[in-house]
Amino acid sequence: MKLIETHIAKVLENPVRFQEYGVGVFKTVPTKSGIKKAIKKKLVFIDGIEATTAKYISGGEKISLFQSEVSSVFKRLELPLEVLFEDDYFAIINKPPGILVSGNKFMTIANGLAQNLEKSTLPDAVRPQPVHRLDKATSGVLLIGKTSAAIRTLSALFLEKKIKKTYFAIAMGAMETSGEIAQTIEGKEAHTTYEVLQKTPSERFGYLNLIRLQPQTGRKHQLRKHLFGIGNPILGDQNYFNEGFVLKGKGLYLHAATLSFVHPLTKVTVCITKALPKKFRTIFKNAFIH
């Protein structure tokens, strides 16, 4: 193995897990998912000892990142993406449905970012990386970090719930006008607020509802599980549906519409919105984001 980066941990008031501390520390693997993969591949050592996900950092530790001798060369993916906002620190793109954000496959948003974004001029610039995830079937706004500091800071804003996310979906069945869903997911607290904006009778599904959703927590498949849990699965969902009530061939009717937060460096409020896809407006003619 080849040593490619080292880092001396800063003194912390309270110890934190390395997989949390390591976000943005290394230019080569700036994201949490990248850190976890490097640990799994036994490429990270702390004070000369192989790192684990359970390891806590308190300060002063020497952290070494190695590169496997069989490490594959990064391949650029030619994937045109709509860029909604961009500066030297981060970008916000419109993620198309049907494509993974990241992972082991070649066809991912992460592999297509470098061709669509300007390279940051800042000294801690890294290859652009998604700061959060959207499900493969979900479309909409996705936040991308372009520097180590930006990735670290934006990840912290997500953890501190300082980034407001708004989604729109079409859900099936009769629904209350608005409400809060508080159902645990895999034993963890999960909260979602929703509001029905429009509804229309459906011979097949009873009712179709255009709803605005705001997740208060960030569990995997939270919105899909929560709506299914109250008996109103999202139209087109192939994983969470009632038998006989699934729409195939049109994709998932779930769209990440808005990201709103204070820019961590300029302190200007950033609010980026992507309009609803055409398939939403086919069902609800006057559907718009507000």
Task: Write down the residue that tokens 């609010």 correspond to.
Answer: 271
Task: Write down the residue that tokens 């769209």 correspond to.
Answer: 255
Buried b (16+ CB within 10 A) or exposed e, 34-62: bbbebbeeebbbbeeeebeeebebeeebe
The model's pLDDT over 210-256, given as tens digits with 9 standing for 90+, comes to 999 999 999 999 999 999 999 999 999 999 987 777 787 789 999 99
Tell me the backbone φ, ψ of residue 223, rounded to 5 degrees: -65, -40
Q: What is the mean pLDDT of residues 155-172?
A: 95
The whole model's pTM is what? 0.78
5 compared with 192, residue with greater pLDDT: 192
pLDDT band at 74 (very low <50, low <70, confident <90, very high): low
CATH 3.10.290.10 fits 2-67, yes or no: yes
Nearest CA-CA partner of 223 in 191, 177, 176, 246: 191
37 compared with 100, residue with greater pLDDT: 100
Average of per-residue pLDDT values in the chain: 91
> Where do the structural domains in the chain lie, given as residue ranges?
2-67, 74-160, 165-255
Q: Tell me what percent of the residues of the chain surpass a pLDDT of 70.
A: 96
Residue pair 176/184 in contact by the 8 Å Cβ criterion: no
Q: What is the mean pLDDT of residues 252-264?
A: 97
Residue pair 236/252 in contact by the 8 Å Cβ criterion: yes
Nearest CA-CA partner of 151 in 34, 6, 271: 34
With a cut of 90, say whether residue 24 has pLDDT above it.
no
CATH topology of domain 165-255: Pseudouridine synthase (3.30.2350)
The model's pLDDT over 85-126, given as tens digits with 9 standing for 90+, comes to 999 999 999 999 999 998 777 889 999 998 999 999 999 888
The contacts of residue 151 (CB under 8 Å, 6+ apart) are 23, 24, 30, 31, 126, 129, 131, 145
Q: Is there a common fold for 74-160 and 165-255? A: yes
Number of Cβ atoms within 10 Å of the Cβ of 6: 11
Running DSSP on this structure, what letter comes out for residue 79? -
Exposed, middle or buried by CB within 10 Å (0-12, 13-18, 19+), for 70?
exposed
Q: Tell me what percent of the residues of the chain surpass a pLDDT of 90.
A: 68
With a cut of 70, say whether residue 283 has pLDDT above it.
yes
- CATH code for the structural domain at 74-160: 3.30.2350.10
Residue from 47, 87, 124, 135 carrying the catalytic annotation: 135
With a cut of 90, say whether residue 192 has pLDDT above it.
yes
Catalytic residue check, 135: yes
Residue 212 corresponds to which tokens in the numbers above? 């605005």
Half-sphere exposure of residue 207: CA atoms within 13 angstroms, side-chain side: 16
Say how far apart CA 281 and CA 287 lie, in whole Å. 6
202 compared with 25, residue with greater pLDDT: 202
Q: What is the mean pLDDT of residues 163-179?
A: 96
pLDDT band at 73 (very low <50, low <70, confident <90, very high): very low
The model's pLDDT over 47-56, given as tens digits with 9 standing for 90+, comes to 999 999 889 9
